[in-house]
Structure 1
Amino acid sequence: MLSVVALAAASVGDRCAALSAQSSPTLEIVSAESEAGTCRVTGFAYPLPGARVGFELRLPESGWTGRYVQLGTGGFAGTLFPETIAVEAQRGNAAAMTDSGHQGDRMSAAWAAGNPQAVRDYGFTSIKATSDAAYRLIRAYYGRPARWRYFVGCSNGGRQALTAAQSYPDDWDGILAGSPANPWTEQLYRFASLQHALAGLGAQSLIPKLPAIQQAALASCAPGTVRKGVATDPRLCSFRPETAGLAPSEITAVRTIIDAGYEPTSAAQPDGWARWILGAGAGQIAFAEQAFRYLLQDSPRWTLADFDAASARQAAQRWSGTLDVAPDFRRFRAKGGKIISYFGWADSLIAPRLALDFFHRAQPAPDYYRLFMIPGMGHCQGGVGPVDFGQSADAPARSPDPRYDVRAALVAWVEHGQPPDSLTAVGKDDQAALKPVR
């Protein structure tokens, strides 16, 4: 005879397996199995002809918070991260992620060649297809819908988060948009333009001089705005490349980088200019080449040597309506939605100045949209000084206190009407108060 515990476990497993019956012409359930205290569901949604959107959903078997959290993915997408989804479910939330309508390496855009539907899926369709599938499965599993719905992502995932708020405002209550890669076509154009210019200037010679550039930039900051070697607000610095002991072509290269939106006050930081901007293997080169070979235009042999500003701008604008988020969230605000965004001042991939420009053009109001600029933080996380405030998708909630955990801050704002007037970032042996941009 089965014990009561065994019967309970069997009923949980049966309830999960029963989700396979939710398959339909627009929803394919590949697997539905009990795993590590969750019901793990994998499948594909078919929202439009030619669209095939992969997803994974985790449903806590007990202790569900009533929340649904959809997680964004980075780069050119194509990959699911089961561990990250599982961590979110460990918080008690139903959690899902999509491959954005294709499968492949996040640094490859080859999937987009000759496939405009795949580009539309990557841009926005997959967000809605995944959330609709998740809502259906949540209701079937728990017998009731999610009470609160959140989108959480960084980089391309941050772009997806803003897309969710703008394109599907009725589907979401709270948005956490980290280092959003937006406007994405503009950023991809800037990668190509900047890298083409730097190649002509022989800018690799700057790499050993980055510490001197950073030191000179920090020395130009207003008194009291540098804390433990980190500029608290690089807008209060007035760096002139001529002060860093550079050759004329190097001065031009540094000015070009700054004009593209990057901060010299963090030029020498780990995961900084040397990785993303300078050198033959710079990360921006990879993004630019993939974008102009497959995503923005069909030119599989394109290289930086082929860059032409006018034609590249035209190619980028062709897809701006699909891949970019316009600075207009009036519908989301009207339904009571809340947005928290954050961005590292030391980000050397997505330009911090571009993020600030978008924020101000969105005419944000503190009743629904707040942006935190993080001194010393690189792309999404990591950096120098206090840069941890609960933003990592792979980290369990470190504190229920919304002052220290931006996810908890979003929940407090959405569910309890407590806006985040400040956050506290922590480091190895330090912490710092963060205030929203005004």
Structure 2
Amino acid sequence: MHFYKSQILGSLLALAPQASHAYPSISPECSLDNLSHQLSSIASSLSNNATILSVTHVQLNGSYGDLNSPQGLPPLVSTGLPDLCAVEVNVTSSESSSYTISIFLPSKWNSRFLATGGGGTGGYVNYLDMGVGSQYGFATMSTDNGHRGSPYDVEWAYKNPQKLIDWGWRAMHRSVELSKQLIKGYYGKKIQYSYYIGCSTGGRQGLKEAQVGADSFDGMLIGAPAWWISHQVAWNTKISKDYYPVDDPKSIPNELFSTLIAQTVADQCDAIDGVRDGIISDPENCHPDFEALSCNSTGANSSACLTSLQLETLAKVYEDYYIGSEFVHPGLELSSEPGWPQYLFADAPTSWGIDYIRYINLESSHEIDADQFDMSPYRDHGGKILMYHGLSDPLIVTRGSSYFYEQVELATGETYPITDWFRLFFVPGMLHCSGSPPGVDAPWHINGAGQNWQTGSGAYSVPGFQDSKHDALLALMEWVEDGKAVEQIIATLWHNSTDPSSGVWKQRPLCPHPKTAKYNGVGDVNEAQNWNCA
């Protein structure tokens, strides 16, 4: 267990807007010779298989990254960086596999380490989240997990069991080990605290690493984790079978999901939190009556109603998936409907789910799923988990996170309450990892993984609110280092959600599960102070 260093964290929080300048300059020699010497002196089984590819000194406000990022990703170039040393390392993991590690070593280092995750099945270095972390003064790391590809590319896995092991856990695990040792050698001092941030597959990577290496991190900020991906794709394939083909009488026109069905859910579920504002905060306590949409209802609009077959299809999307009596995967959450046309039900089934089953599920699911629920070794190391998930997530099923949380609680016993070290926060109205549908416009920015990809060059923390009340990473650090448990996080939305200079539109507290935010009945509903966790 750690001794709390409140004075250190207090300095970090007080100086958060200038976090990269809050520490004395260390400025070791950023050169190939120096880093190669550090690598060769590391007492690690990896050292014989690791090679420095490049060492680059990035000056203050400089840029670094990958302009030619894989298809489906923006240019992965961090801008407005602090003065730092960027290091690229290649590690041979087997006779048929290798992976790349990138490390940012800021000259003004906060004595902390931050590992970042990726998304989908993608093979890429997450320079954008690395850049965000470096703004605080973290030495940051990301790995391409052993291949290069888009978040929906799966064919690389075919008959490549070693690459699957790299992607599943080995590249992250060994990258963390090597990075920590290289950082210690470079600065000539120990890392005080180690952290992790990732969403989606990045969330899975973090949970898997805590299960593989309990002492890898002191704190993890985990978003919408695809921790049970073998079951997720089985469920996804099942609901595709229920829905397609689109010309079948059972199929629902996909434009009705984000209009008729979403509005029906909002009409019946919105006010449960005490105010009707378009944001559904407590879907678990809502049980909408979809018979109101039946074409058999008196006065039904023939162009905006559902047949009995279509109502059956709709019910299957929401219901939990069982094979016989065995639970396989939870169904979609109420309020996720606006995202269904894009993520689930287009003109034809997405190939991603069946490709995953074809190329991965039949080979190495045990190497990938983060389903070792007894995480007491991580807890006993002193580790903390702050997990969040959008209630309107149409891609990674929201209830998968509550199921994971409950299974961990059962597996780790009652000696230590789970809330002592693991807290789960749901984000009403948030889609997958970030964003909110038009018309819902819910606050979602808490400095989760990938959220600052959208808010401009050099953005970090929660622009304008760089403190532990609004920034989930700072809140996690305060929990780890100062023992202050996270009781709520205030989510922020600007008038233009990608432009903080447009001014704050809405803020709302997020509450640790099973609490939810309730309007107190007084004042502006868009101000966080008028909501309580209950």
TM-score under structure 2 length normalisation: 0.72
Match 1:166 to one of 194, 211, 217: 211
Match 1:433 to one of 509, 519, 523: 509
**1:389-430 deviation per Cα after TM superposition (whole angstroms, max 9, x unaligned):** 121443401334211000000100111111101111111211
Q: Structure 2 CA distance, aligned partners of 1:333 and 1:326?
A: 13
Match 2:170 to one of 118, 121, 125: 125
**1:249-301 deviation per Cα after TM superposition (whole angstroms, max 9, x unaligned):** 22122111111521343412xxx01101111356xx2320320232224xxxx
Q: Structure 2 CA distance, aligned partners of 1:12 and 1:149?
A: 21
Match 2:237 to one of 173, 179, 192: 192
Tell me the CA shift for residue 325 of structure 1. Answer: 2.8
Match 2:290 to one of 241, 261, 276: 241
Match 2:443 to one of 386, 392, 400: 386
Task: Say which SS state the counterpart of residue 239 (structure 2) adopts.
Answer: helix
Question: Are residues 38 and 17 of structure 1, via their aligned partners in 2, closer, same or farther at CA, if it must alter by over 3 Å?
Answer: farther
Tell me the CA shift for residue 110 of structure 1. Answer: 1.2
Q: Structure 2 CA distance, aligned partners of 1:122 and 1:73?
A: 10
**1:148-189 deviation per Cα after TM superposition (whole angstroms, max 9, x unaligned):** 111110000000111121211112101111000021111111
Partner in structure 2 of residue 416 of structure 1: 482
Tell me the CA shift for residue 353 of structure 1. Answer: 1.5
Q: Structure 1 CA distance, aligned partners of 2:272 and 2:86?
A: 51
Task: Say which SS state the counterpart of residue 370 (structure 1) adopts.
Answer: strand
| Contact residue 85 and residue 95 of structure 1 kept, 8 A | yes
Task: Say which SS state the counterpart of residue 265 (structure 1) adopts.
Answer: coil
Partner in structure 1 of residue 407 of structure 2: 361
1:78-89 matched pairs, under 5 angstroms: 78-89=123-134
1:275-424 matched pairs, under 5 angstroms: 275-280=342-347, 285-297=350-362, 319-363=365-409, 365-383=418-436, 384-393=441-450, 394=452, 395-398=459-462, 399-424=465-490
Tell me the CA shift for residue 84 of structure 1. Answer: 3.0
Q: Structure 1 CA distance, aligned partners of 2:95 and 2:421?
A: 36
Q: Structure 1 CA distance, aligned partners of 2:259 and 2:131?
A: 40
Which range moved further: 238-247 or 106-115? 238-247
| Contact residue 80 and residue 99 of structure 1 kept, 8 A | yes
1:50-129 matched pairs, under 5 angstroms: 50-61=96-107, 63-129=108-174
Which segments of 5 or more consecutive residues in structure 1 lack a partner in the other structure?
1-8, 298-314
| Contact residue 169 and residue 367 of structure 2 kept, 8 A | no
Tell me the CA shift for residue 386 of structure 1. Answer: 1.0
Q: Structure 2 CA distance, aligned partners of 1:14 and 1:341?
A: 36
Task: Say which SS state the counterpart of residue 427 (structure 1) adopts.
Answer: strand
Match 1:212 to one of 260, 284, 288: 260
Task: Say which SS state the counterpart of residue 243 (structure 2) adopts.
Answer: helix
Question: Are residues 286 and 91 of structure 1, via their aligned partners in 2, closer, same or farther at CA, if it must alter by over 3 Å?
Answer: farther
Match 1:254 to one of 314, 318, 327: 314
Matched, 1:35 2:80: no
Report how many residues are paired: 404
Task: Say which SS state the counterpart of residue 269 (structure 2) adopts.
Answer: coil
Task: Say which SS state the counterpart of residue 166 (structure 2) adopts.
Answer: helix
Which range moved further: 128-137 or 75-84? 75-84
Which range moved further: 112-121 or 318-327? 318-327
| Contact residue 111 and residue 138 of structure 2 kept, 8 A | yes
Q: Structure 2 CA distance, aligned partners of 1:47 and 1:338?
A: 30
Q: Structure 2 CA distance, aligned partners of 1:433 and 1:114?
A: 47
Task: Say which SS state the counterpart of residue 170 (structure 1) adopts.
Answer: coil
Task: Say which SS state the counterpart of residue 28 (structure 1) adopts.
Answer: strand
Q: Structure 2 CA distance, aligned partners of 1:332 and 1:227?
A: 41
Task: Say which SS state the counterpart of residue 477 (structure 2) adopts.
Answer: helix
Question: Are residues 281 and 275 of structure 1, via their aligned partners in 2, closer, same or farther at CA, if it must alter by over 3 Å?
Answer: farther
- Kindly provide the amino acid, as one letter, of the partner of residue 396 in structure 1: Y
Task: Say which SS state the counterpart of residue 420 (structure 2) adopts.
Answer: coil
Tell me the CA shift for residue 227 of structure 1. Answer: 4.3
Which range moved further: 373-382 or 251-260? 251-260
RMSD (Å), alpha carbons: 2.1
Match 1:136 to one of 153, 158, 181: 181
Tell me the CA shift for residue 66 of structure 1. Answer: 0.7
Task: Say which SS state the counterpart of residue 34 (structure 1) adopts.
Answer: strand
| Contact residue 124 and residue 323 of structure 1 kept, 8 A | no
- Kindly provide the amino acid, as one letter, of the partner of residue 389 in structure 1: I
Task: Say which SS state the counterpart of residue 97 (structure 2) adopts.
Answer: coil
| Contact residue 402 and residue 412 of structure 1 kept, 8 A | yes
Q: Structure 2 CA distance, aligned partners of 1:210 and 1:83?
A: 31
Q: Structure 2 CA distance, aligned partners of 1:122 and 1:392?
A: 19
Tell me the CA shift for residue 330 of structure 1. Answer: 0.6
**1:304-325 deviation per Cα after TM superposition (whole angstroms, max 9, x unaligned):** xxxxxxxxxxx7xx62354333
Task: Say which SS state the counterpart of residue 371 (structure 2) adopts.
Answer: coil
Tell me the CA shift for residue 204 of structure 1. Answer: 5.0
Which segments of 5 or more consecutive residues in structure 2 lack a partner in the other structure?
1-24, 41-46, 60-82, 294-304, 321-330, 410-416, 453-458, 495-504, 515-534
**1:172-217 deviation per Cα after TM superposition (whole angstroms, max 9, x unaligned):** 1011110000211111111111112211555351423531111222
